[in-house]
Amino acid sequence: MLNFLDAYHSLPFAELEVGKHLYWEIGNLKIHGQVMITSWFVIGLLVIASIAATRNVQRVPSGMQNFMEYALEFIRDLAKNAMGEKEYRPWVPFVGTLFLFIFVSNWSGALVPWKIIHLPEGELAAPTSDINTTVALALLTSLAYFYAGLKKLGLGYFAHYVEPVPFMLPFKVIEDFTKPLSLSFRLFGNILADELVVGVLVLLVPLFIPLPVMALGIFLSAIQALIFATLAATYIGEALEDPHHGEEEHS
C-alpha cells in the first residue's frame, strides 16, 4: 500500500497546484495582486474615458462624449424603471458605476491579451473572474439597499420582515443572505466558465473554432453586466417602497 501511494505521488499530475495567486504583503496585510492590477487597469480606462468625454463638451455631442451620454441615458432609464420617477436620481451614479465597472471588466477578459504578461505566480484575467471581486460588488449592493431602506423609512424598514404574517421573518432573513450569494456566484461563474472554455478551445483548436465562442462570450459578458446592474437597481427599488403606500391609496 505504501509503495502504491509513493508511486501515486510521483505522478506528474499529483504535482500540479491549482489556484495559485500573486499576493503582496504589507505588514500583516495580504493583498491579491492579480485582482488589484486588473481592477485598477479597468478603473484607469473608465477615468480616461470620462476625462475624454467631458474635456471639451459640445452642444451637439460626438465621439466619446456621444458614447458616454448614451451610456448615461441608458443607465438612467434602467434605474428609473427599477426605482420609479421620484426615487431613481440619487442612485444613478451607484448603478452606473456597477454597470460600467462590470462591463469593462468582463470585456477586458475577452479582449485584453492578459496571457502575454507573465507574473511570478498566477496569471492575469478579468477582475470579475475572481470570486473576491464579485462578492465585494454583491456586498456593496446589499449595503446600498439596506441604506436606502433605512434612510427613507427608518427602523420601519424592518417591518416588511413580518409582513404579511410574522412567520415570514426567517424566510425574509434567508432572502437577504441569498441575494448577495446569487449575485456574486452568477457573475463569477459565467465569466470564469467563459474564460475556461475559450482557453481550452484555443489550446485544442487554436485557429478558427474559438472565434465564434469568443464573440458569444463578449455578448454574454455585456448581458451579465446588465443583469447585475438591473438586479441591484431592483433590490434598491424594493427597499425604497413604502409597505403602507398601497394601503393608503386603496383606502
User: Cis ω on the peptide bond leading into residue 166 (within 30° of 0)?
Assistant: no
Residue 181 has pLDDT above 70, yes or no: yes
- DSSP secondary structure letters along 146-163: HHHHHHHHGGGGGGGGG-
Structure confidence at residue 29 (pLDDT)? 79
Cell output for 102: 462590470
Q: Is the pLDDT of residue 58 over 70?
A: yes
Residue 25 backbone dihedrals phi, psi, to 5 degrees:
-110, 120
Q: Where are the alpha helices (DSSP H) in the chain?
A: 2-10, 33-54, 63-83, 92-111, 131-153, 169-204, 210-240, 245-250
Amino acid at the residue 241: E
Whether residue 5 has pLDDT greater than 60: no
User: Greater confidence, 63 or 36?
Assistant: 36
pLDDT digits (tens, 9 = 90+) for 107-163: 888 777 777 777 777 778 889 988 889 999 999 999 999 999 888 888 887 877 777
Residue 99 pLDDT > 50, yes or no? Answer: yes
Residue-by-residue DSSP string for 2-39: HHHHHHHHHSGGGG---S---EEEETTEEEEHHHHHHH
Q: What pLDDT does 76 receive?
A: 93
Q: Is 244 helix (H, G, I), strand (E, B) or coil?
A: coil
- What global pTM score does this model have? 0.81
Residue 220 pLDDT class (50, 70, 90 cuts) = confident
| CA dist., res. 245 & res. 140, Å (int) | 27
Answer yes or no: are the C-beta atoms of 127 and 26 closer than 8 Å. Answer: no
Q: Where are the domains of the chain?
A: 20-55, 66-241
242 vs 14, which has greater pLDDT?
A: 242
Segment 195-205 shows an average pLDDT of: 69
Tell me what pLDDT residue 121 has: 74
What residue has cell string 467563459? 194
Q: How far apart are CA 18 and CA 94, in angstroms?
A: 35
Q: What is the pLDDT of residue 141?
A: 94
- Per cent of the chain over pLDDT 90 is 24
The residue type at 236? I
Look at 89-98, 158-167, 184-193 and tell me which has the smallest mean pLDDT.
158-167
Q: Do the Cβ atoms of 144 and 240 come closer than 8 Å?
A: no
The pLDDT confidence band at residue 47, using thresholds 50, 70 and 90, is: very high
